């Protein structure tokens, strides 16, 4: 540590600390213009110039970027400092007499009328003063580098490449937010927001966090959700071989560092949401396809993100980025969802290995776990509507029916391992040890998709949902909250994939309350209507409950439709039980008071299964109660009235037809 | 000699640090907050904070997820 004395106040700093930062430590403020917490110091405006004494030498340096390396004394108000500061501001005032920030700083420094006139005198109150913050933010912070300086000396100016506006600009507005003079304005968007400044202010909170915090939080910008592969593997949540296991020694072959090092292109605006500074989607350029109608072509693959890696990699046992990328590309090309493809293929593979299918039935395809070439051929067949692909492409729900009816397979076994709910294939997380997440998937309106709730850590790891009521409360709040993003056309990732530095101090950190308030500001800025967090939940509850009623109309809205396959709840096969024997035996002992040592494997599996199935039914009871639904999972008339959706024609009659009249 | 970590018992070793505990539990999630017997331990101090026998450790994972 090195001693620094600033205006007589002593302090100690680590070597390399700037004079400006040191001054802050002792609450001495030095005026700045081109400096910003989001940016590397630049030393352009010279306003922060101060006199420093190192040894016997005294000289003027810019405080923002002068590193302390030896003991020194700083004078922020010496005659020499003030004289330098005045002349800098005088020159600026001469060139930009009407820019407010220049006027204010000049007045504060005691500068009157400038003694000279500037040849490029610019009377615009919103003139650009060449501080460079916009250029630097676009490059260092947003990683887009769309703005640059052009020209030298007095002809220096800020431009976009080649033209007045550039297609490369994603309209994030960060440059306008950081500009001190209002020289940059956003052309307001066609949605006609009531208060665009308010929206931008709320957005800059997230942008600031992305710039300062993301790189040591979830690393969304460099890796997107791809970093989840290694994490899920660590927590035994990565689906392997049709959700049988939660980890695999080969999973490291598709961890994000592999993708980051050799595949993903960085810093490319992905067009996913205009103006998003998380911009987390990845692309892989220069990929040469090996199979299918475009074999031999070099393409850009959009992805892969976690689900595609977890599904097309781990779940089907194809732990090789090349296979994942080829599946990713063709799924996109064919308009097939990678999650559905991965999960149905995993089902097919388990059926093949269990003898339900054979090469005769699959037309020669050896659909075993790890056979990426066979999986790809299946994908091509699905797209062409040919061969076994024509059957597989109908999805797990229909395959279960076909395999039972036409191949004589055991329907109970297929039901247990067929990972679908309401006909939608499960997305790529192992939920066996999280009752809350089993509900998150099973009760979800659209089927087994985790966009409604992702509670695995809160439930299974943090143990923050110990009671049914706590789980039901979480299964009320989070699906309602997450539905809100869909209602507003927003991505949920900025809500909790980056968090404020003080989020841990909040009473309910899982809700990321500061960001929720930000979304209230967003909504008010768009509509002109003031709302609080409870109002947002209410908006969703109305739509969500109506969707449940619509599900009822379409034949998916009762308790029986919230059923889930046992593979999502516990070990179906002996192999699965034995792979985590200590855990399961321990639970039989601790939760059920049984003695595993005195039981056969089949007895243990049966006892565990009964317990878990009972638990799920109890969870449904608790969730339905919390949501104001009947014990059959139907919204009550009272609830529907409360939300005003009884006004929609046909709703009340539909409920009555299902015996719901209260 | 043991610790309680998120309600479960975990073997305690003399001199083990918070960082070592997290590695043993494979708690690699980037958004976590650690409390040791009620006191929050910032990330910058994980490798220097030494645990004591009987400490009650809470490792709260922020949700996020795919």
Tell me whether residues A496 and B30 touch, CB distance under 8 A. no
Containing H/E element for B41?
Answer: strand B39-41
CA distance A631 to A148: 63
> What is the average pLDDT score of chain B?
91
- Average pLDDT of the residues in A126-148: 93
Strand duo B2-5 + B56-61: pairing: parallel
Burial zone of A290 (CB within 10 Å; 0-12 exposed, 13-18 middle, 19+ buried): middle
Under the banding of pLDDT at 50, 70 and 90, the label for residue A280 is confident
pLDDT digits 0-9 by tens, A492-543 = 999 999 999 999 889 899 999 999 999 999 999 999 999 999 999 999 999 9
Report yes or no for ipTM above 0.90: no
3-state secondary structure A10-53: EEEECCCCEHHHHHHHCCCCCCCCCCCCCCCCCCCCCCCEEEEE
* Cα→Cα distances A99→A330, A467, A538, Å: 55, 61, 45
% of chain A beyond a pLDDT of 90? 88
Q: Which helix (H) or strand (E) holds A441?
A: helix A435-442
Question: In the predicted model, what is the mean pLDDT of residues A255-274?
Answer: 82
A544-585 tens-digit pLDDT: 999 999 999 999 999 999 999 999 999 999 999 999 999 999
Q: How many angstroms separate the CA atoms of A180 and A184, rounded?
A: 9
Distance CA A132, CA A280 (A): 26
Picking from A218, A307, A463, the nearest residue to B31 by CB comes out as A218
C-alpha–C-alpha distance, residues A321 and A263, integer Å: 9
Rg (chain B; Cα; Å): 11
Distance, CA of B21 to CA of A631 (rounded, Å):
44
Neighbouring C-alpha atoms within 13 Å toward the C-beta of A588: 24
Closest-CA residue of chain A to B58: A462
Residue B29 pLDDT? 87
Instruction: Choose, out of B5, B42, B57, B65, the residue to mutate when testing the contact with A (most A CBs < 10 Å).
Output: B65
Average confidence (pLDDT) over A167-196: 87
pLDDT of the residue at A187: 78
Q: Cα(A93)–Cα(A622) distance, rounded to whole angstroms?
A: 68
Predicted confidence (pLDDT) at residue A646 exceeds the cutoff of 60: yes
Instruction: Tell whether B40 lies on the interface with A, counting CB pairs under 8 A.
Output: yes
What is residue A312's predicted lDDT score, i.e. its pLDDT?
98
A6-22 pLDDT tens trace:
999 999 999 999 999 99
pLDDT of A50 higher than 80: yes
Pick the range with the lowest mean pLDDT from A98-112, A169-183, A184-198, A258-272.
A258-272
Query: Average pLDDT in the A441-455 region?
Result: 95
Q: Do A589 and A596 touch, CB atoms closer than 8 A?
A: yes
Burial class (CB in 10 A: 0-12, 13-18, 19+), A526: middle
* pLDDT of A56 higher than 90: no
Average pLDDT over residues A97-108: 96
Contact A457 B61 (CB under 8 A): yes
Decide if pLDDT at B66 tops 60.
no
pLDDT at B64: 64
Starting at the edge strand found earlier in the chain, the sheet holding A2-6 runs A9-13, A2-6, A72-75, A49-54, A57-62
Contacts with B33 from chain A: Cβ below 8 Å:
504, 509
Q: How far apart are the first and last CA of chain B?
A: 38
* Distances from the Cα of A495 to the Cα of A85, A462, A585, B62, angstroms: 43, 20, 39, 12
Please give the DSSP secondary-structure letter assigned to residue A395.
-
Over range A20-47, report the average pLDDT: 95
Q: Provide the pLDDT confidence category of residue B63 given band limits of 50, 70 and 90.
A: confident
What pLDDT digit, counting tens, does each position of A218-259 carry?
A: 999 888 899 999 999 999 999 999 999 999 999 999 999 999
Measure the CA–CA gap between A313 and A323, rounded to whole angstroms: 8
CA neighbor of A495 nearest in space, from A514, A480, A521: A514
DSSP one-letter code for A357: S
C-beta atoms of B59 and A457 within 8 A: no
- B2-61 — its CATH code? 3.10.20.30
Instruction: Name the residue facing A510 among B29, B40, B63 (closest C-beta).
Output: B63
Asked if pLDDT for residue A267 goes beyond 70, the answer is: no
Q: Which helix (H) or strand (E) holds A148?
A: strand A148-150
Q: Touching check for B26 and chain A: CB below 8 Å?
A: yes
For residue B66, give the nearest of A219, A235, A450 by CB distance: A450
Listed by start position, the domains of chain B span: 2-61
Kindly report the backbone phi and psi dihedral angles of residue A332, in degrees, each rounded to the nearest multiple of 5, phi listed first: -60, -45
Q: What phi, psi does A286 have (nearest 5°)?
A: 65, 30
Give the CB-side neighbour count of residue A135, counting CA atoms within 13 A: 18
Q: Which residue, among B4, B31, B63, would best test binding to A if mutated, counting the most A CBs under 10 Å from its CB?
A: B63
State the average pLDDT over residues A631-643: 97
Neighbour count for residue A1 (Cβ, 10 Å): 10
Q: B58 CB near a chain A CB, below 8 Å?
A: yes
CB atoms within 10 A of CB A567: 25
The answer to whether the beta carbons of residues A134 and A118 sit under 8 Å apart is no
d(CA A153, CA A158): 13
Give strand pairing partners of A302: A283
Residue A270 confidence (pLDDT) above 70:
no
Do A497 and B64 make contact, defined as CB atoms within 8 angstroms?
yes
> Are the Cβ atoms of B61 and A458 closer than 8 angstroms?
yes
pLDDT of A163 reads 61
Cβ-Cβ contacts under 8 Å for A407 (sequence gap 6 or more): A356, A357, A361
Q: How confident is the model at residue A355 (pLDDT cuts 50, 70, 90)?
A: very high
Q: Which residues of B touch A464 (CB under 8 A)?
A: 60
User: What is the 8-class DSSP label of residue A550?
Assistant: H
Average pLDDT, chain A: 94
CB contact under 8 A, A228 and B27: no
Q: Tell me if residue A465 falls in helix, strand or coil.
A: coil
Q: What is the pTM of this model?
A: 0.91
Q: Is B11 exposed, middle or buried (0-12, 13-18, 19+ CB in 10 A)?
A: exposed
The whole-angstrom separation of Cα A634 and Cα A320 is 45
Which chain B residues are Cβ-neighbours of A217 within 8 angstroms? 30-31
pLDDT for B30 equals 83
pLDDT at A273 over 80: no
How many pairs of residues across A and B have Cβ atoms under 8 Å apart? 72
Give just the sign of the alpha carbon dihedral A299, A305, A308, A309: positive
Angstroms from B59 CA to nearest CA on chain A: 7
Domains of chain A: residue spans and CATH: 2-77 (3.10.20.740), 128-187 (3.30.70.20), 220-425 (1.10.569.10), 435-492+538-657 (1.10.599.10)
Q: Which of A217, A427, A455 lies nearest to residue B30, judging by beta carbons? A: A217
| Residue in chain A nearest B22 by alpha carbon | A234
| Interval A628-636 mean pLDDT | 97
SS3 assignment, position B5: strand
């Amino acid at each position: 540590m090195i001693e620094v004395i600033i205006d007589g106040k002593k302090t100690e700093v680590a070597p390399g600390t700037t004079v400006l930062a040191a001054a802050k430590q002792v609450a001495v403020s030095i005026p700045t213009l081109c400096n910003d917490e989001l940016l590397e110091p630049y030393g352009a405006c010279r306003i922060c110039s101060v006199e420093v004494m190192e040894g016997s030498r005294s000289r003027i340096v810019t405080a923002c970027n002068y590193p302390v390396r030896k003991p020194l004394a700083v004078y922020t108000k010496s005659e020499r400092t003030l004289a330098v500061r005045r002349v800098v501001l005088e020159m600026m005032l001469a060139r930009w007499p009407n820019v407010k920030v220049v006027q204010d700083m000049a007045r504060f420094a005691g500068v009157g009328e400038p003694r000279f006139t500037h040849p490029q005198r610019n009377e615009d109150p919103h003139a650009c003063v060449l501080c460079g913050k916009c250029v630097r933010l676009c490059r260092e912070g947003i990683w887009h580098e769309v703005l640059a300086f052009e020209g030298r000396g007095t002809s220096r100016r800020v431009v976009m490449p080649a033209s007045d506006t550039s297609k490369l600009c994603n309209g994030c507005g960060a440059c306008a937010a950081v500009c001190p003079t209002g020289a940059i304005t956003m052309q307001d968007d066609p949605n006609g927001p009531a208060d665009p400044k308010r929206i931008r202010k709320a957005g800059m909170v997230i942008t600031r966090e992305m710039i300062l915090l993301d790189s040591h939080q979830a690393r969304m910008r460099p890796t997107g959700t791809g970093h989840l592969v290694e994490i899920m593997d660590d927590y035994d949540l990565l689906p392997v071989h049709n959700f049988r296991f939660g980890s695999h020694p080969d999973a490291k072959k598709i961890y994000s560092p592999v993708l980051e090092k050799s595949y993903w292109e960085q810093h490319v605006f992905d067009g996913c949401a205009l103006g998003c500074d998380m911009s987390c989607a990845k692309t892989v350029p220069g990929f040469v396809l090996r199979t299918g109608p475009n074999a031999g072509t070099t393409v850009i693959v959009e992805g892969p993100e976690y689900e595609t890696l977890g599904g097309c990699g781990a779940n089907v046992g194809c732990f090789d980025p090349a296979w994942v990328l080829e599946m990713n590309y063709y799924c996109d090309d064919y308009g097939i969802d990678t999650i559905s493809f991965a999960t149905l293929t995993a089902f097919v593979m388990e059926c093949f290995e269990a003898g339900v299918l054979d090469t005769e039935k699959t037309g020669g395809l050896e659909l075993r776990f790890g056979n990426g070439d066979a999986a790809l051929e299946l994908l091509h067949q699905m797209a062409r509507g040919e061969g076994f692909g024509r059957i597989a492409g109908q999805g797990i729900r229909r395959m279960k029916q076909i395999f039972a009816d036409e191949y004589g397979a055991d329907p109970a076994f297929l039901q247990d391992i067929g990972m679908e709910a309401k006909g939608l294939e499960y997305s790529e997380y192992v939920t066996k040890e999280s009752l809350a997440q089993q509900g998150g998937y099973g009760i979800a309106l659209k089927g087994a998709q985790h966009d409604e709730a992702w509670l695995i850590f809160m439930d299974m790891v943090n143990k923050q949902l110990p009671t049914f009521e706590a789980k039901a409360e979480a299964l009320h709040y989070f699906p309602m909250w997450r539905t809100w993003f869909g209602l507003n056309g927003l991505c949920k990732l900025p809500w909790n994939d980056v968090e404020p530095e003080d989020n841990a101090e909040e009473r309910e950190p899982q809700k990321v309350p500061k960001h929720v308030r930000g979304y209230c500001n967003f909504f008010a800025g768009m509509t002109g209507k003031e709302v609080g967090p409870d109002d947002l939940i209410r908006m969703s509850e109305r739509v969500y409950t109506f969707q449940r009623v619509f599900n009822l109309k379409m034949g998916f809205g009762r308790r029986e439709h919230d059923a889930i396959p046992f593979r999502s709840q516990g070990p179906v096969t002996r192999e699965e039980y034995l792979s985590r024997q200590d855990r399961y035996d321990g639970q039989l002992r601790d939760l059920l008071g049984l003695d595993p040592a005195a039981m056969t494997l089949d007895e243990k599996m049966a006892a565990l299964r009964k317990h878990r199935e009972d638990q799920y039914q109890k969870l449904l009871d608790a969730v339905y109660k919390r949501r104001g639904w009947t014990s059959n999972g139907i919204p009550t008339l009272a609830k529907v009235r409360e939300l005003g959706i009884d006004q929609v024609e046909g709703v009340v009659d539909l409920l009555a037809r299902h015996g719901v009249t209260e | 000699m043991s610790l309680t970590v998120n309600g479960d018992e975990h073997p305690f070793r003399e001199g083990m640090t918070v960082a070592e505990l997290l590695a043993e539990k494979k708690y690699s999630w980037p958004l976590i907050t650690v409390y040791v017997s009620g006191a929050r331990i910032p990330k910058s101090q994980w490798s220097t904070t030494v645990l004591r026998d009987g400490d009650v450790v809470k490792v709260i994972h922020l949700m996020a997820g795919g």
